[in-house]
């Protein structure tokens, strides 16, 4: 193949890529050296704001294939036929650390999935945990501030981490999950993914169901102990990225089986747990898992910045047959993501190849803004209604309406009969083997024993005691031992 010529950004040949142009061999450099100026200026602009959470991640393309009939519950076109395949992009992530952080850390993992469906992109932005720490989006910035670096010390501080949890008894369930064996996945391939929130599905007849998504890894769940993780971080800080990249390059394509729990909408009001409370699961005995399909990742992105860093997932990107539930956290997220994308990537981020629809086209009257690349053609009007056969509304709401009563105001979550902050945390503790309980207690004590204030320690111990008296006692003893040693 003929050697190609290096060019400037406007395509002109570059004469010398090793020596800058100067006034004489030993003199200062010339302002007319376009290649040097352009190269340095571009370099200065390589970084964009990193995600405020989930900054560090890895992505891959693949497909979702329907294996079971769910048309009884949803009219989503990509789920309407057994055997139907939809292209996907999945970005995994850690949460708390910055872009340069390590992979093998104790932290939830993001599981953000974009389905490029024929009715538009459907984003399911989940985690590897079925629950979350809080249940009102007003608390999210405070929560994240307490888990990320302290503004003075520039480090993650156990004092802040546990101070927040001391004031958030509803976090006890997720803290128990995080400090248990699944808190440090061995790799992105060896963990489950969950939609976590409750979503709404609507079928052709307009009947509504509430659903929870569970992606079960077909590689088996594998986790690292705190000690193994510390060793892993020392050997390869990018261990999850390395694992995913190399597996797919080798032709070993990771896959997950998607199941849903389905609750007929009429059952939501009287269920013993508030079904829209993100700190709670629905026990499988109440709502069993029903298989939907298989997710496979089989292609690495060619460019991490273009396709992974610039990927943008919004829980507000729904398709017909799928919609939000009134979960307050989800409602907050419906705003937060696209707003973050406009800040991080600009208003035209939906035109970037990784984010643009693939199985359909975007047709609307939005135009212009920085970096607009999709003018939609000479004859496409930028207003509506018009007399030029432009795109018109479908008159079909994506999902069923939700009936409400009450007054506006700042309300505490609605408590159902079995709702409290500790019951499910205690159930999770009691479900663990004796060995896992020991590791859970040691992991909690490792962090809590570093907290300097006794009242913060005591408040956290009270939460573990409320979940299960034995759990609380064991953590208290382990913390005392570590503090005295």
Binding positions for heme:
337
* Smallest separation, CB 151 to ligand HEM (Å): 19
Each residue 57-86 as x (binds ligand HEM by CB under 6 A) or -, in order, gives x-----------------------------
Would you list which residues are annotated within the binding site? 337
Are 50 and 98 in contact by the 8 Å Cβ rule? The answer is yes
Tell me which H or E stretch contains 336.
helix 328-344
Stretch that binds ligand HEM, among 172-180, 219-227, 327-335, 376-384 (CB under 6 A): 327-335
Asked if 344 touches ligand HEM (CB under 6 A), the answer is yes
Q: Which is nearer to ligand HEM, 17 or 343 (CB)?
A: 343
Asked if 347 touches ligand HEM (CB under 6 A), the answer is no
Q: Please confirm, yes or no, whether 54 is among the known catalytic residues.
A: yes
Entry field: residues in the chain: 485
Stretch that binds ligand HEM, among 17-25, 325-333, 442-450, 477-485 (CB under 6 A): 325-333
Asked if 91 touches ligand HEM (CB under 6 A), the answer is yes
Of residues 120, 137, 321, 324, which one binds ligand HEM by CB under 6 A?
A: 137
Are 390 and 380 in contact by the 8 Å Cβ rule? The answer is yes
Are 136 and 328 in contact by the 8 Å Cβ rule? The answer is yes
Of residues 259, 313, 464, 471, which one binds ligand HEM by CB under 6 A?
A: 313
Are 72 and 123 in contact by the 8 Å Cβ rule? The answer is no
| Three-state DSSP state, 322 | strand
Q: Which is nearer to ligand HEM, 230 or 340 (CB)?
A: 340
Query: Which pairs from 236-239 meet CB under 8 Å and 24+ separation?
Result: 237/101, 237/102, 237/103, 238/102, 238/103, 239/102, 239/103, 239/104, 239/187
Residues between 423 and 452 that touch ligand HEM (CB under 6 A): none
Asked if 126 touches ligand HEM (CB under 6 A), the answer is yes
Cα 30 from Cα 35, distance rounded (Å): 11
Asked if 336 touches ligand HEM (CB under 6 A), the answer is yes
Q: How many residues of this chain bind ligand HEM (CB under 6 A)?
A: 27
CA-wise closest residue to 429 among 419, 439, 420: 439
Determine the straight-line distance between the first and last CA of the chain, rounded to whole angstroms. 68
Binding region for ligand HEM (CB under 6 A): 51-54, 57, 91, 93, 110, 112, 125-127, 132, 137, 140, 196, 311-313, 329, 332-333, 336-337, 340-341, 344
């Amino acid at each position: 193949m003929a050697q190609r010529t290096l060019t400037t950004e406007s395509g002109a040949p570059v004469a010398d890529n090793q020596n800058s142009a100067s006034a004489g061999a030993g003199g200062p450099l010339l302002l007319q050296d376009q290649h040097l100026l352009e190269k340095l200026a571009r370099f200065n602009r390589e970084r964009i704001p990193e995600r405020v959470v989930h900054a560090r991640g890895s992505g891959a393309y693949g497909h979702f294939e329907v294996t079971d009939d769910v048309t009884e519950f949803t009219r989503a076109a990509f789920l309407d036929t057994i055997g139907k395949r939809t292209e996907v992009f999945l970005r995994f992530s850690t949460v708390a650390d910055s872009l340069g952080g390590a992979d093998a850390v104790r932290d939830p993992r993001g599981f953000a999935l974009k389905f490029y469906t024929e009715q538009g992109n459907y984003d399911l932005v989940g985690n590897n945990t079925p629950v979350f720490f809080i249940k009102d989006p007003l608390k999210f910035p405070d929560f994240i501030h307490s888990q990320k670096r302290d503004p003075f010390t520039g480090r993650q501080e156990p004092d802040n981490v546990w101070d927040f949890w001391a004031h958030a008894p509803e976090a006890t369930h997720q803290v128990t999950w995080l400090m248990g064996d699944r808190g440090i996945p061995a790799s992105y391939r060896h963990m489950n993914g969950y939609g976590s929130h409750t979503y709404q599905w609507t079928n052709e007849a307009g009947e509504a169901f509430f659903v929870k998504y569970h992606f079960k890894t077909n590689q088996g769940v594998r986790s690292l102990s705190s000690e193994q993780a510390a060793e892993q971080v020392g050997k390869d800080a990018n261990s999850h990225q390395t694992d995913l990249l190399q597996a797919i390059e080798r032709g070993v394509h990771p896959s997950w089986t998607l199941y849903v729990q389905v609750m007929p909408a009429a059952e939501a009001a009287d269920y013993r747990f508030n079904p829209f409370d993100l700190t709670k699961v629905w026990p499988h005995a109440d709502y069993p898992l029903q298989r939907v399909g298989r997710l496979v990742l089989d292609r690495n992105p060619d460019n991490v910045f273009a396709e992974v860093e610039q990927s943008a997932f919004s829980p507000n990107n729904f398709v017909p047959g799928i919609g939000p539930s009134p979960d307050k956290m989800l409602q907050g997220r419906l705003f937060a993501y696209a707003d973050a994308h406009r800040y991080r990537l600009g208003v035209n981020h939906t035109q970037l190849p990784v984010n643009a629809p693939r199985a359909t086209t975007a047709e609307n009257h939005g135009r212009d803004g920085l970096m607009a690349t999709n003018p939609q053609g000479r004859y496409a009007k930028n207003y509506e209604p018009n007399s030029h056969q432009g795109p018109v509304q479908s008159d079909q709401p994506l999902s069923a309406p939700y009936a409400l009563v009450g007054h506006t105001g700042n309300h505490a979550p609605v408590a159902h009969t079995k709702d409290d902050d500790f019951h499910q945390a205690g159930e999770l503790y009691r479900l663990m083997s004796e060995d896992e309980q020991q590791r859970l207690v040691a992991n909690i004590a490792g962090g809590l024993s570093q907290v300097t204030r006794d009242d913060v320690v005591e408040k956290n111990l009270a939460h573990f005691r409320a979940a299960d008296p034995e759990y609380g006692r064991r953590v208290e003893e382990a913390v005392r031992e570590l503090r005295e040693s």
